[in-house]
Amino acid sequence: MSLTLTRRRTAAAVATVALLVPLAACSGTGGGKDKATGGSTTAPDTRLTVLAAASLTDVFKTAGAAYEKTHPGTTVTFSFAGSQELVAQVAQGAPADALVTADTKSMAKARNDTGTPTVIARNRLVIATGEGNPHKVDELKDLADPRLKVVLAAPEVPAGKYSKKILDAQKITVKPVSQEPNVRAVLSKVELGEADAGLVYKTDAESAKDKVDAIAIPDAQNAIAEYPAATLNDSKNAKAAAAFVAWLSTPEAQKILQDAGFQKP
């Protein structure tokens, strides 16, 4: 083969590679643009884990579905428990992205592990009884009846702290048959007939209105629960976590919370 022919073939090969390089860059899967929309051809796959107070169980499932619908590619997973348990999990380094508690004191205990918290909702206590209120519980002082099986959240649980606060303020002594690790466990005891009455949040009673009755507690005798939300410093999805926490204060999220019986922050 002549030297001239070899040089021509080499030049042609180099020219071909030079043409293919920019084409490959344009058609790469990492950051390609959709010609029709001008947007990315692939949605980011983001998975958020949110540690949330037990009393948010129902409403956050609804909120999570709504968020995922308007944020394609983002999946929100919730872990529900008593706020004191969630704070302990954070202290132990549980892999998560955001924290939402049922009181500001619990959130304050995690302040070294979170961003600045924002109150996203408020709640209040009611007396939950069996359907039809068979024991005719009408007010807080009725809970002192020794014949009544009353269940409360444990003192270290936000709902337990609020319960103690309002009972002490009214000088009412209640001897509960059990003290539960979260407010949903209190509700469950009443639902199952294992307790005659219990103090739960208004929204908890609303979620089980076909199984329990809710007796309102006057504002002057009640306590207001605040729900702060914050990102976790160790989140591996910091921007997405911040976006979700911010979304909880938007009109869309607030409507979901308020439809479930929560009060405005």
- Secondary structure string (H, E, C) spanning the chain: CCHHHHHHHHHHHHHHHHHHHHHHHHCCCCCCECCCCCCECCCCCEEEEEEEEHHHHHHHHHHHHHHHHHCCCEEEEEEEECHHHHHHHHHCCCCCCEEECCCHHHHHHCHHHECCCEEEEEEEEEEEEECCCCCCCCCHHHHHCCCCCEEEECCCCHHHHHHHHHHHHCCCCCCCCEEECCHHHHHHHHHCCCCCEEEEEHHHHHHCCCCEEEEECCHHHCCEEEEEEEEECCCCCHHHHHHHHHHCCCHHHHHHHHHCCCECC
How many other CB atoms are there within 10 angstroms of residue 133's CB atom? 17
pLDDT averaged over 10-residue windows placed end to end, the chain, 265 residues: 42 40 35 37 75 97 97 96 96 97 97 98 98 96 97 96 97 97 96 97 94 96 97 96 98 97 96
- The pTM of this model reads 0.80
**Distance in angstroms (rounded) separating the CA atoms of residues 111 and 226:** 16
Going from the N-terminus, what domains does the chain have, and what CATH number goes with each?
46-122+226-259 (3.40.190.10), 123-224 (3.40.190.10)
- CA pair distance 190, 162, nearest whole angstrom: 19
In the prediction, which pLDDT does 44 show? 61
Name the β-bridge partners of 200. Answer: 126
User: What b/e readout covers 197-212, taking b as 16+ CB neighbours within 10 angstroms?
Assistant: bbbbbbbbbbbbeebb
pLDDT for 30 equals: 37
Q: Tokens representing 160?
A: 């337990």
Total length of the chain:
265
